[in-house]
Amino acid sequence: SYVLTQAPSVSAAPGQTARISCGGNNIGTKNIHYYQQKPGQAPVLIVYDNSARPSGIPERFSGSNSGNTATLTISRVEAGDEADYYCQVWDSSSDHWVFGGGTKLTVL
């Protein structure tokens, strides 16, 4: 079955850029989506189809996807961005959703 690999944690200082990677075999051929989850809250979709943003999501959140790695980039990091971030793809070979293990972003 398809596997998505995320680093357990990433940190960034306010105002800096945070990059959250999601690795998978030929992930660049798939559409990848990202969810943000703050403690005690439901996840929120922040990027879909590699780089699209739902309404209300700041332009600071952007995505790219190529080869075996997809990246969520958070520019001008704010304290309120501290959360867990999950990547997700659809595995058409098994008709299953696949989530990465999640990356905890700590704002220093």
Partner 1 sequence: QVQLVESGGGVVQPGRSLRLSCAASGFTFSRYGMQWVRQAPGKGLEGLTFISSDGRKTLYADSVKGRFTISRDNSKNTLYLQMNSLRVEDTAVYYCAKDINRGCSGDCPVDYWGQGSLVTVSS
Q: What residues line the site for partner 1 (CB under 8 A)? A: 33, 35, 37, 42-45, 48-49, 54, 86, 88, 90, 92, 95-102
Contact 8, 104 (CB under 8 A): yes
Closer CB to partner 1, 67 or 96, in the complex: 96
Contact 86, 71 (CB under 8 A): no
**Rounded-to-10 torsion of CA 38, 92, 56, 46:** 30
CB of 100 to partner 1, least distance (A): 8
CB of 16 to partner 1, least distance (A): 26
Question: Letter for the amino acid at 91?
Answer: D
CB of 89 to partner 1, least distance (A): 9
